[in-house]
Amino acid sequence: MRVATWNVNSIVPRLPRVLDWLEHTAPDVLCLQELKNTTEAFPVEPVRALGYEVAAYGLGRWNGVAIVSKVGLADVVRGLPGEPQFDGESQARAVGATCGGVRVWSVYVPNGREPENPHYAYKLEWLSALHGLVGTELSTDRPFAVLGDFNVAPDDADVWDIEAFAGSTHVTEPERAALTALREAGLSDVFPRPLKYDHPFTYWDYRAGNFPNNRGMRIDLVYANNAFAGAVRDAYVDREARKGKGPSDHAPIVVDLEL
């Protein structure tokens, strides 16, 4: 089984690239983030024409997530149990489904903006709700993974220059502690082995030179239980999908499993 995740930074303008990527990479399951449209407005038909079912969750703002699958789509859940709100409103940041016997959640963790911003506290509360979900999902032994844009770099080596991030989000101790808590709960990062790149960053700002000079961050992650992680035979960042005209600022992660 091939499972992938990709923050597409708006599904509508990125749709031609996503469809082409689905055809050529042929994942069985693709988790998407940052749709920037509503559940109802997700372009289901062109994706379905390629043989995929769709479970989308969007509220038309700067978030939105989806799972597309050609191996089944069951037990769909939109939103985390007990997730916090921001400014009194819910945000579409998580969707879960069972695909071919594998339980996956596509997540788009809040950015946090700056450590002093209320959005940062919201981010930490949201990660705590994710931790609660993980505990529930780990009560069974089926393959399970949380995939998506975590907006946290797990280690200093996961940013191009740690000095450039001093005092900013994505690398603070509380954020990284939240990832540590997920690992201690029973999940593991499917990286760093195997690797296809020395520095498998997944995000590069659009500013000139950041991508060709590999000034990036590894903030898109696949955290999995033992049944999933033990079945991984290959895992890589598809940098080719970040190239060309009109790309997302993120690249997909592709994970091949032998279940």
Annotated binding-site members for Mg(2+): 7, 34, 149, 151, 249-250
CA distance 124 to 129: 9
Per DSSP, helices labelled H in 142-257 are: 173-185, 226-229
Q: Tens of pLDDT along 50-108?
A: 999 999 999 988 899 999 999 999 999 999 999 999 999 999 999 999 999 999 999 99
- Are 257 and 143 a contacting pair, CB within 8 Å? yes
What is the spatial distance between Cα 142 and Cα 133, in angstroms, rounded to a whole number?
15
All structural domains of the chain, each given as residue ranges with its CATH number in brackets, are 2-257 (3.60.10.10)
pTM: 0.96
Catalytic residue among 57, 108, 120, 203: 108
**C-alpha to C-alpha distance for 29 and 15, rounded to whole angstroms:** 16
pLDDT at 192: 59
| Least-confidence region, from 9-23, 191-205, 211-225 | 191-205
- DSSP label at residue 9: S
Q: What is the pLDDT of residues 108-130, one digit of tens each?
A: 999 999 999 999 999 999 999 99
pLDDT at 196 over 80: no
Residue 194: pLDDT band with limits 50, 70, 90: very low
Binding site: residue ranges?
7, 34, 149, 151, 249-250
Q: What is the DSSP letter of 217?
A: B
Select which of 52, 57, 149, 189 is catalytic. Answer: 149
The pLDDT of residue 193 is above 70: no
Question: Of residues 158, 170, 189, 250, which has the active-site annotation?
Answer: 250
Catalytic residue at 170?
A: no
Indicate the angle between helix axes 118-137 and 173-185, nearest 10 degrees: 10
Q: Distances from the Cα of 36 to the Cαs of 82, 148, 213, 242, in angstroms? A: 23, 15, 28, 19
The per-residue pLDDT for 61 is: 80
Strand partners, 129: none
Strand order in the sheet with 2-7: 53-57, 65-69, 29-33, 2-7, 253-257, 232-237
Look at strands 94-99 and 74-78 and give their pairing.
antiparallel
108 in active site = yes
CA torsion through residues 177, 182, 186, 191, sign? negative
Record the tokens describing residue 244, joined without a space: 């060309």
